[in-house]
Structure 1
């Protein structure tokens, strides 16, 4: 019986009071208020933190959260919302009312494509969106509405093809798609695939590498060889700056 009670307490998580939350309010380098509730062992976002809704940054990372409450839209000043390394299975539509949000980190959760709300597409000022280490099989079409998006993390998901909507994001500078099971039909595409792709000018290659590339190009252009039926387009894709840890548990 005691064991069962302990498990129930674990599922419920720690209780966070307003006084405890107030002690976690800090100041950013530019003088803004930041509420840091990371690694507190909470399973539910307490309603009392609504009294601190004037903060500009909210960190709820490394907790036991399975869902985000609808009252998140009360934090209208938020420019950064960090929810990485939780157990989130859904995100409320109300997140779309955070019109000042610049950075949203949803990395290392349990989010599927269907659990991402249409409201995400309303975040017009969003520059950084991290969806890595989740269960996404495709990228929702409404992501293309994030016209100001600069950095997008999609690493270690279940994507099987390049998201088509990314071509509509004209300001996108960096995207990380490492660790996805992209499907390649080898009968149509004879190019050897590597984990990272680097584009360089011919003048940057040594003589040996240049000859090797020129020979490979001639083989592809030879009509007697198997031709590519689809031209691959890597517009907007750059090599990631860092490698994510493959084990989600190490992020917690």
Structure 2
């Protein structure tokens, strides 16, 4: 961890940032400043115009600079697990962006700018684990979007335009209070049935998520902590034990390092095993 960490968090300089740049297998320049206690977006990063990918995940950043749209070379931006409460309108200037991860922040629907609809090259957008109940209608223009994460939010219903995103093949809406309309026209709040298994390697989880998932796994392998006994309970617990995997955690965390292997529900296909 760089020197200079104190009450105001880690101070990142251009020199530190340049040393953290690595080449990806496909020849892109990736700057990784994850889990460094950064509280303020380092504006010096905007000087690194040759960076294609930026990872500032697992920090304490509350606000993005208004001129983040000047980062015109970015193709991949990961800001998951921070404390963001808003997204500046200038993010719409990142026309080349293909992957954007804003999950596990403090975003409300009012904090999402309409300019998200300008990111027409976006293929993957992760908005899970926020406080969203709606999306900007301008997002209907995201014709290239293939993956959309909306899990662990406040959606009672999904925006109609989600159904017409022509490239969308993966959608995760788990753990939202979705309103299901019954035959008599009246709706009741129900949780969506657990249909799929979501797995990531435990090394991809932040400390909090890893602890929570291990506790859940222990409860399952002990029989869920339920009242013991005979009957068919043993079979049910055995089935749950079968669905645990060494080194992998379920359900999936937003803290996966590489969104290229992000596992989410695949529409109109069999569950991912």
The reply to whether TM is greater than 0.5 is yes
Alignment CA distance shift 1:163-1:196 (3 Å): farther
Contact 1:127-1:148 at 8 Å conserved across structures:
yes
Aligned to 2:68: 72
Which secondary structure does the structure 1 equivalent of 2:140 belong to?
helix
Cα separation, 2, equivalents of 1:197 and 1:30: 35
Which secondary structure does the structure 2 equivalent of 1:70 belong to?
coil
Cα separation, 2, equivalents of 1:32 and 1:190: 49
Aligned to 2:193: 195
What is the TM-score when the length of structure 2 is the normalising length?
Answer: 0.66
Aligned to 2:47: 51
- Aligned pairs, how many? 196
Q: CA deviation at 1:50?
A: 1.9
Aligned to 2:251: 243
Alignment CA distance shift 1:82-1:193 (3 Å): closer
Say which one has the larger Rg: 1
Gap regions ≥5 residues in structure 2: 1-5, 197-249, 257-273
Contact 1:88-1:110 at 8 Å conserved across structures:
yes
Contact 2:113-2:136 at 8 Å conserved across structures:
no
Aligned to 2:17: 21
Q: CA deviation at 1:243?
A: 2.9
Q: CA deviation at 1:37?
A: 1.1
Cα separation, 2, equivalents of 1:190 and 1:73: 42
What is the TM-score when the length of structure 1 is the normalising length?
Answer: 0.71
Alignment CA distance shift 1:35-1:193 (3 Å): closer
Question: Deviations 1:191-220 (Å, cap 9, x if unpaired)?
Answer: 99752458xxxxxxxxxxxxxxxxxxxxxx
Q: RMSD in angstroms over aligned alpha carbons?
A: 2.4
Determine which of 58, 63, 83 is the counterpart of 1:62: 58
Alignment CA distance shift 1:29-1:135 (3 Å): same
> In the TM superposition, what are the counterparts of 1:93-132 in structure 2 within 5 Å?
93-132=89-128
Contact 1:134-1:157 at 8 Å conserved across structures:
yes
Cα separation, 1, equivalents of 2:115 and 2:136: 11
Divergent runs of 4+, >4 A: 189-194
Determine which of 141, 144, 165 is the counterpart of 2:137: 141
Q: CA deviation at 1:75?
A: 1.6
Cα separation, 1, equivalents of 2:58 and 2:149: 18
Contact 2:51-2:74 at 8 Å conserved across structures:
yes
Gap regions ≥5 residues in structure 1: 1-8, 199-241
Q: CA deviation at 1:14?
A: 1.6
Alignment CA distance shift 1:140-1:45 (3 Å): same
Q: CA deviation at 1:59?
A: 0.6
Cα separation, 2, equivalents of 1:193 and 1:52: 45
Alignment CA distance shift 1:120-1:194 (3 Å): closer
Determine which of 22, 35, 38 is the counterpart of 1:39: 35
Contact 2:117-2:139 at 8 Å conserved across structures:
yes
